[in-house]
Amino acid sequence: MDGAEAPQRMMSDYMEIKPEWIDHNGHLNMAYYGVLFDHGSSFAFRRMGFGPAYRRESGHTTFEAEYRIRYRRELKLGDRVRASFHLLDAGSRAIHYCQELFHEDGWVAATGEGVNLHIDRSGPRVAPYPPQIVEKIAALLEDCRSMPVPDWVGAPMGIRK
């Protein structure tokens, strides 16, 4: 999938690479790709009902169980990117999703794939979603079903020979 497809996807606002995120090689340090994906998913998590009020009033939150990043192209100081969000699957207590970081010129800088858990903070322990969240997740999942699943989702990791 290339940047030409980006407008059809759910996209975050633009985020700019900050000076403190640049490493000794002069490009974005690998840790900050995760920051960009995390910040770039906030709009989708709010759409599913996981905003500050939900955390405060319900005693529940979300935790990332697994997240894999694939680095495609370097990002440098001042570059601007947006993160896509594609909900792939949902269970009673977890979601599976993928993201891409699109440079403002349209190319993909990185891809990400994650499994996120719904957490009862009193445990903490994994807990089922309440009905109002289930409805919002189901609606978002339905919206995402029309988008093709990227071929890199679920791909094994290893060394090319």
- pLDDT tens string 29-60: 999 999 999 999 999 999 999 999 999 999 99
Is a pLDDT exceeding 90 seen at residue 8? no
Q: How far apart are CA 26 and CA 74, in angstroms?
A: 10
pLDDT per residue as tens digits for the range 88-118: 999 999 999 999 999 999 999 999 999 999 9
Q: How far apart are CA 43 and CA 66, in angstroms?
A: 20
At 7 the pLDDT is: 38
Long-range pairs, 138-144, Cβ under 8 A, ≥24: 138/90, 140/44, 140/47, 140/48, 140/87, 141/87, 141/89, 141/90, 143/10, 143/87, 144/10, 144/86, 144/87, 144/88
- SS3 assignment, position 14: coil
Nearest residue to 138 (alpha-carbon basis) of 71, 21, 49: 49
Question: Which residue, chain included where needed, has tokens 């529940």?
Answer: 60
53 burial type by CB count under 10 A (0-12 exposed, 13-18 middle, 19+ buried): exposed
Least confident of 7-21, 75-89, 118-132: 7-21
Strands 94-103 and 80-90: antiparallel
pLDDT per residue as tens digits for the range 121-161: 999 999 999 999 999 999 999 999 999 999 999 999 999 88
Q: How high is the mean pLDDT of the chain? A: 94
